[in-house]
Structure formats: C-alpha cells, structure tokens
Amino acid sequence: MNPGENNEFDKQLRERFEGFRPKAPDGLWDKIAAQLEAEEPRSVVPMRRRLPAWWMAAAAMLLMVCGVLYWQNRPVPVTYLHVQADAVEAPEKVVVEPSKVVESSKPVETAEPVTEPLDLERLRRVFAKRNRKVEEPSQVAARERQPEEAPAAATTESQPLAMHEPLTSSPGGLLQWRDTLESAAIEIAGVPAIEPLLVLEDEEETMLASTEATRQAFGLSNILNYVVGTVDQRDEKLVTFSNDEEGSLKLDFNFGLAKNKKKKLK
C-alpha cells in the first residue's frame, strides 16, 4: 500500500468525521455540575468553620455567666474591722490603739483618781488581756469564735476611757465636763451592738482574713464544681473540688465511676 493511498484514506475518514455531531445525553451536564460542586472547597469550609464558632460562643457564654456569678458573690474585704471602728464615735478609736491609751490615761490617774475609781481596774483588765494575748497568740482565734464576750468587754472598756480623754485637755471645768461626759456615755450606751473590737497584730489579721476567705459561699472550688457539673450530669461526679482549712485547692477523684465506665465500654 503506497503512502499516497494511505493519506487519501485518512483524509476521507477525517472529512467524514469533521461534521459528526452526535447528541450528548440528557443529564450529563447535571452530573458534571454535581461533580464540580463537590470538588469546590467552599462547600466544605463552612461546615468546618461552623462548629468552632458555635463552641466558641458557648464557651464565651459560660465564662461570662461564671464571671457574673463570681462578681456577685465576690469575697468581702476583711478591712471592715477598721471601717466599723472609724464609724463609731471618737472614744472607740482610743480602744483600737491601746498604746496611746496607756500614755494618755496616766496623767488622768494622777490628776483625778477619785472621780472614777473603777477605771483603773478595767484598765488593768485590758492590759491583762493584752498580755495574755501576747503570751498565747493561738487564743486569738478562739476569741474570734466567741464573739459574745468581746462586745461586752469592748463597750465596758471604751466608755470609761472615753470619759478620760477630754479631761486631759481641760482639767479646769470638771463639773461641766462630767455632765457632758455622762450624756455622751448615755449616747454611747444607745449605740447598737458593735463588732468585737480586738487589738490584733498584723499576722493575726491576715490569718483571720484567710480563714474568712475559705468560708466563702462561692469560691474557686465552687466555680470548678459548677463547671464540672455542667459537663458531668451524674449524681456523683468523677472529679470534685474543695478547699482545706488552709485554703488550698483539693482535687477528689471518684475512681469507682471511672472503673464502671471502662466496663461499660468493653
């Protein structure tokens, strides 16, 4: 077969197929469009983005709720002892700082020992208590637990001392001062129950503050327990949080629940 004849054969075939237009099947475009749709990444990405956004919103809401609850039940500052002492009349201030009382009361005793003879005994009682406290610092905490004794002592100590304070400034008009002091004593007696006014060292105050913080109704352990409770719906939780006496956070695991879970999985 010569090349010219072959070329003619190929040419004839080419010409015949040049105008060959078979009908494309119906529905083939739909298949192509569906395949293109599936291959495009846009259909996949939103699904991936939706879940984290949803979870992020839920986590943000949970954090906000916890924050608001914590803020509402935040720990009250312990400085209320000083605040209450300031709120009371001037005589109580003298009790808060007994060293000044000692200095200021000495000239009073020498100036007028007859007018108030009981003051000396009460002052001795105050000093005796103070000395006892220095010797036995651990008893301060016990005194804090028995507040019913402290207010009485504070009021009884404060009244006579308050009566001595102005006398040092004006030793002349004793009678007038006596009247005013008596009226002041009546007013002071009318003051409602005052918080125990204790003379505390700095360390003791911080100790009391820490014990107060551990008694908070909504501390860190409560928040953690609340979060665990939202996840673990069972009556007994796998993990529970609590605070010990020193205020440290404690973790308690319920291993019985973990064992049961493993058995169920098997």
Partner 1 sequence: MGNRQAQEKLYHAMASKMLGVCLRYARSTFEAEDMLQSGFIKVFRHLDSYQRVGSFEGWIRRIMVNTAIEMYRKNQRGGVSVEIDEVYDDAQQTFSMDALECEDLLRLIQALPHGYRVVFNMYALEGFSHKEIAEALQISEGASKSQLSRARTWLKEKLKQLEGGNYESR
**Contacting partner 1 (CB under 8 A), which of 4, 39, 41, 193?**
39
Residue 153 has a CB neighbour count (10 Å cut-off) of: 18
Which CB contacts under 8 angstroms, 24+ apart, belong to 221-228?
221/249, 221/250, 223/66, 223/69, 223/70, 224/249, 226/66, 226/69, 227/62, 227/66
Asked if 29 touches partner 1 (CB under 8 A), the answer is: yes
Q: How far is the CB of 221 from partner 1 (least distance, A)?
A: 56
Alpha carbon distance 56, 54 (integer Å): 5
Asked if 192 touches partner 1 (CB under 8 A), the answer is: no
**CB nearer to partner 1: pick between 42 and 262:** 42
Helix, strand or coil, per DSSP, at residue 252 = strand
> What are the distances in angstroms from CA 68 to CA 60, 73, 174?
12, 9, 59
Asked if 28 touches partner 1 (CB under 8 A), the answer is: yes
Number of shown-chain residues binding partner 1 (CB under 8 A): 23
Asked if 4 touches partner 1 (CB under 8 A), the answer is: no
Asked if 187 contacts 234 with a C-beta cutoff of 8 angstroms, the reply is: no
Q: How far is the CB of 46 from partner 1 (least distance, A)?
A: 16
**CB nearer to partner 1: pick between 23 and 145:** 23
Interaction site with partner 1 (CB under 8 A):
1, 6, 9-10, 12-14, 16-17, 20-25, 28-29, 31-33, 35-36, 39
